[in-house]
Amino acid sequence: MADDPLQPDLMPSLRRLVRGLEVLFWSLPAALVVCVAESVSFEWQSWGVLPLVLVMGLLWYGVSRLKVFQPGETVWQSTVTITELLALALVGLAPFLHWFHHVPEIPAEYLTSGQKHISYCLVVFCSATIMFLLNLNHAIARLAAMLPDEVLRRHTRFLVITNFILFVPLLALMLLPQFSFAIFNALARTTPALAEAAGTPFGVEAWLQSAALWLATLIVATTMAMVWKTKEVVLNGVFSLEPPALEDEIDETEEDFDPSLN
């Protein structure tokens, strides 16, 4: 499939494919901004769950547009289906990020059953977000493998591997803030200068959260680059299609025309 040229009969599916890639390109950074704003800004909470559900719905819509391309490719279709299901799960779990602000910062044994349910669903939401990004990277790699552009395949393969590697420190940075007090005490014993710069264990927690946000932004940015490059390759393939030879058809019509019939 990678070496086959794009055919004109693929135009309807290519149009939806480009639309889906375009929606994904803009909804990925929007989802990152909305989630971060919902986590750190109390003013943002006045909007309720609407921004979260809206951006997650855009992610689902963008992925769902990809399914119309090459419906006969089972591996590609299964990859897109899994990504679409994860995006749909994000739509349902997104409100728990907003409701988590109502959970008090107390030990888990003192939380009510409803507050524990919100906390558990938030963990599932974060896990589903990571799985969605991983599967989206895999889906883009599968899409690039079906397009007739060797440079795109190499770049996509490199960026996907890079993103998969970056997910390891990202997961570590997401878990380490729970041990900010232990990390601060270790810094105070080994490197007092860093402990003094952090000030308190909450300063260490802020450092770790900033590093996690930076890595998440880098992963989203590389994913956006792959989506944009893939969309450009599809568009270039569409506009490079040669139109049918109209002159040859006219010549054949003139040859078949018999003046004696007039």
- pLDDT of amino acid 4: 47
Q: Where are the domains of the chain?
A: 8-106+118-240
Give the integer Cα–Cα distance in Å for 60 and 90: 9
Least confident of 53-57, 105-109, 127-131, 229-233: 105-109
| DSSP 8-state class, residue 13 | H
- pLDDT of amino acid 9: 55
Given pLDDT bands bounded at 50, 70 and 90, which one contains residue 131?
very high
Computed from CA positions of residues 35, 36, 42, 46, in that sequence, does the dihedral angle turn out positive or negative?
A: negative
- pLDDT of amino acid 6: 46
Give the integer Cα–Cα distance in Å for 187 and 196: 9
List Cβ neighbours of 112 (8 Å cut-off, separation of 6 or more).
none
- The gap between the terminal CA atoms of the chain, to the nearest Å, is 50
By residue count, the chain amounts to 262
Give the pTM.
Answer: 0.81
Are residues 247 and 63 in contact, defined by beta-carbon separation less than 8 angstroms? no
Least confident of 57-71, 98-112, 176-190: 98-112
Q: Look up residue 219 and give its two tokens.
A: 């992963």
